[in-house]
A and B are shown apart, each in its own frame.
Chain A
Amino acid sequence: MLNYIWGGLVLLSVGSALLFGNGDALGSAIVESGADAVQLLLTLAGVMALWSGMMKIAEESGLTKILARMFAPVLRLLFPRLPPDGEAFGCITMNITANLLGLGNTATPLGIQAMRALDKLNGGSDIASDEMVIFVVINTASLQLMPTMLASLRQTAGSAEPFAILAPVWISSACALAVALSIAVGLNRRHRL
């Protein structure tokens, strides 16, 4: 999909540069955009290394596990039919906690493991179970306590208050999650009746 989007963008740009007579600007943009991108990557490198390192400490010190235990009762309400001590529920709580902390690299393998466990409970069927729908929907709504990456990008761009967006982000993602879950749970129930 990105192949067509990217190819389309390049062709569209060259086409419209010819149309609008912006050939000169395009010529310098070709050289500059590469340099700008590398500049940006250098800034990102520092930020990503720093926060990945911090989050690794959070993980190894057991902070993630403590948080997972705190969230478990809430998640029980969404997955009442899963065995509470089973692999599926364990992976689900760990995946969601990792997402909350912004540990994308940790969350994805845990999520796939959770899906495999749910698949086993579902008898390897090629139709998604209720739990799968709810779990994937939670993963498509972004719930993050500290959007450190986003704040760092804002700071790099010269924002006076990089963290000012914290409350709006929380409210917006909570609403998005609430809508997605009501639809998922509502339709799950209707299909069961």
Chain B
Amino acid sequence: MMALVMPLFAAAIVLFGLIRRVAVFDVFIRGAKEGLQALAGIAPTLIGLLFAVGLLRASGAADALCTFVAPAAERLGFPPEIIPMALLRPVSGSGSTALLLSVFDECGPDSFAGQVASVLAGASETTFYAITLYFGAIRVKHIRHTMLAAIAADLTAWVMSVVTVRLFFF
């Protein structure tokens, strides 16, 4: 049932495009090109970070860090494997994608850690990046309580990702 979501979504877009007499294939090609350019832009970042994560795991440092923070994380019901991703998420989108994939690799996408990591990735944003970008663009220095509200949103996403995954799957 859920497997049909993506195909139906795609079909709805194409159908609407045809009704509106859009040159759907031409436009699709243009969009696809932009997508590939965007990917080419983040490719070096992704390679660099996956390299660092690969080293971290092979060296045994990741395991050591996990055993170090695991007791505290488990007390809170937070899977320790996804802490690196949760910490990087507000700073870098492609970086946290790399870490999300390494969680999938390590625990599987349908495991508890994999599901929580997925929900967290879907429910939070690159907070610090967005704030710097938008306020930087108009040179506003005093951002008042923006940071407080944004960090509260991230913390809520952390808590809710664990709560909803428990509610729906475990």
- Which residue numbers of A lie inside 8 Å of B, CB to CB? 1-2, 5-6, 9-10, 12-17, 19-20, 22, 25-26, 28-30, 32-34, 36-38, 40-41, 44-45, 48-63, 105, 108, 111-112, 115-116, 118-119, 125-128, 132-133, 135-137, 139-142, 144, 146-148, 150-151, 153-154, 157-169, 171-173, 175-177, 179-181, 183-184, 187-188, 191
Q: Are A22 and B60 in contact, with the CB atoms below 8 A? A: yes
Given contacts A157-B108, A160-B110, contact A169 B59 (CB under 8 A): no
Given contacts A33-B50, A57-B27, A163-B6, contact A173 B122 (CB under 8 A): yes
Q: Are A179 and B153 in contact, with the CB atoms below 8 A? A: yes
CA distance A178 to B92 in the complex (A): 23
Task: Enumerate chain B residues within 8 angstroms of A159, measured Cβ to Cβ.
Answer: 104, 109-110, 114
Q: Are B47 and A38 in contact, with the CB atoms below 8 A? A: yes
Task: Enumerate chain A residues within 8 angstroms of B32, measured Cβ to Cβ.
Answer: 49-50, 52-53, 56
Given contacts A128-B140, A172-B161, contact A26 B58 (CB under 8 A): yes
CA distance A9 to B165 in the complex (A): 30
CA distance A147 to B130 in the complex (A): 19
Chain B nearest Cβ from A153, distance in angstroms? 7
Residue with the greatest number of chain B CB neighbours at <10 A, chosen from A148, A165, A176: A165
Within 8 A of A (CB), among B116-149: 118-125, 127, 130-131, 133-135, 137-146, 148-149
What is the 8 Å Cβ interface bit string for chain B, positions 54-86, against chain A (1 contact, 0 not)?
111111110010000000000000000000000
Please name the residue on chain B nearest to A187 by beta carbon.
B145
Q: Are B108 and A166 in contact, with the CB atoms below 8 A? A: no
Q: Are A139 and B39 in contact, with the CB atoms below 8 A? A: no
Q: Are A12 and B5 in contact, with the CB atoms below 8 A? A: no
Residue with the greatest number of chain B CB neighbours at <10 A, chosen from A5, A146, A147, A191: A5
Q: Are B35 and A128 in contact, with the CB atoms below 8 A? A: no
Q: Are A172 and B35 in contact, with the CB atoms below 8 A? A: no
CA distance A16 to B64 in the complex (A): 9
Given contacts A157-B109, A183-B149, contact A41 B43 (CB under 8 A): yes
Q: Are A40 and B50 in contact, with the CB atoms below 8 A? A: yes
Q: Are B125 and A142 in contact, with the CB atoms below 8 A? A: yes
Q: Are A60 and B22 in contact, with the CB atoms below 8 A? A: yes
Task: Enumerate chain B residues within 8 angstroms of A133, measured Cβ to Cβ.
Answer: 143-146, 149
Task: Enumerate chain A residues within 8 angstroms of B154, measured Cβ to Cβ.
Answer: 140, 176
Q: Are B134 and A115 in contact, with the CB atoms below 8 A? A: yes
Task: Enumerate chain B residues within 8 angstroms of A37, measured Cβ to Cβ.
Answer: 46-47, 50-51
* Other 9 A-B pairs with CB < 8 A, given A56-B27, A127-B141: A10-B55, A25-B59, A53-B29, A57-B17, A61-B19, A127-B142, A153-B104, A165-B118, A166-B5
CA distance A20 to B48 in the complex (A): 24
Q: Are A157 and B61 in contact, with the CB atoms below 8 A? A: no
Task: Enumerate chain A residues within 8 angstroms of B115, measured Cβ to Cβ.
Answer: 164-165, 168
CA distance A72 to B144 in the complex (A): 26
CA distance A40 to B54 in the complex (A): 13
Q: Are B149 and A56 in contact, with the CB atoms below 8 A? A: no
CA distance A105 to B93 in the complex (A): 13
Task: Enumerate chain A residues within 8 angstroms of B127, measured Cβ to Cβ.
Answer: 140
B31's partner among A5, A54, A163, A175 (CB-CB below 8 A) is A54
Q: Are A54 and B13 in contact, with the CB atoms below 8 A? A: yes
Task: Enumerate chain A residues within 8 angstroms of B47, measured Cβ to Cβ.
Answer: 34, 37-38, 41
